[in-house]
Structure 1
Amino acid sequence: MLKEVCVENFTFVPVAIAKGVHHIELCDNLSVGGTTVSHGVAAKTIPFCHIKNTKVMTMVRPRGGNFIYNKEEIEIMQNDIVHFKQLGTDGVVIGCLNDSGWIDEDAMLYLLETAKGLDVTFHMAFDQIKHEYQFEAIDWLVKHRVNRILTHGGPSSKSIENNLIRLREYVDFAADQIIILPGGGITDKNLNYIASTLNIREVHGTKIVGELS
Structure 2
Amino acid sequence: MFKEIPVENFTDIPALIAKGANRIELCDNLAVGGTTVSKGVMAETQKYASEHGIPVMAMIRPRGGNFVYNDIELKIMEADLFQAQELGVDGVVFGALTSDGSLDEEAMEQLIGAASGMQITFHMAFDAIPTAKQTESIDWLVEHGVDRILTHGGSLDQPIEKGLEQIKSNLKYAANRIIIMPGGGITSQNAESIQNELGVHELHGSKLI
Alignment TM-score > 0.5, same fold = yes
Q: Secondary structure at the match of 2:117?
A: coil
d(CA) in 2 for partners of 1:189, 1:4: 16
1:67 positional shift: 0.3
Q: Counterpart amino acid of 1:22?
A: N
1:52 positional shift: 0.2
Q: Which residue of 2 aligns with 1:51?
A: 51
- Map Cα deviations across residues 164-212 of structure 1 (whole Å, 9 max, x no partner): 1111111111111000011000000000000010000000010111xxx
1:15 positional shift: 1.0
Q: Which residue of 1 aligns with 2:166?
A: 166
1:11 positional shift: 1.1
Q: Secondary structure at the match of 2:125?
A: helix
d(CA) in 1 for partners of 2:33, 2:39: 19
Q: Does 2:89 correspond to 1:92? A: no
1:142 positional shift: 0.5
Map 1:73-152 onto structure 2 (within 5 A).
73-152=73-152
Q: Counterpart amino acid of 1:169?
A: S
Between Structure 1 and Structure 2, how many residues are aligned? 209
Q: Which residue of 2 aligns with 1:13?
A: 13
d(CA) in 2 for partners of 1:151, 1:198: 13
1:12 positional shift: 0.9
1:90 positional shift: 0.3
Q: Which residue of 1 aligns with 2:153?
A: 153
Q: Secondary structure at the match of 1:111?
A: helix
d(CA) in 1 for partners of 2:86, 2:104: 26
d(CA) in 1 for partners of 2:15, 2:168: 31
List alignment gaps of at least 5 residues for structure 2. none
- Map Cα deviations across residues 106-136 of structure 1 (whole Å, 9 max, x no partner): 0000010111111000000000111210111
Q: Which residue of 2 aligns with 1:204?
A: 204
1:19 positional shift: 1.0
Q: Which residue of 2 aligns with 1:63?
A: 63
Moved over 2 A (4+): none
Q: Counterpart amino acid of 1:94?
A: F
Q: Which residue of 2 aligns with 1:195?
A: 195
Q: Counterpart amino acid of 2:2?
A: L
List alignment gaps of at least 5 residues for structure 1. none
Map 1:24-39 onto structure 2 (within 5 A).
24-39=24-39
d(CA) in 1 for partners of 2:60, 2:160: 24
- Map Cα deviations across residues 75-99 of structure 1 (whole Å, 9 max, x no partner): 1000000001111100000100001
Q: Which residue of 1 aligns with 2:72?
A: 72
TM-score normalised according to structure 1 size: 0.97
- Map Cα deviations across residues 134-168 of structure 1 (whole Å, 9 max, x no partner): 11111110111100000100011110011111111
Q: Counterpart amino acid of 1:136?
A: E
The CA RMSD measured in Å over matched residues stands at 0.6
d(CA) in 1 for partners of 2:66, 2:162: 24
Q: Counterpart amino acid of 1:137?
A: S
d(CA) in 1 for partners of 2:117, 2:88: 11
- Map Cα deviations across residues 30-72 of structure 1 (whole Å, 9 max, x no partner): 1100000111111111010000000000000000000000000
Q: How high is the sequence identity, in percent, across the aligned residues?
A: 52
d(CA) in 2 for partners of 1:20, 1:166: 29
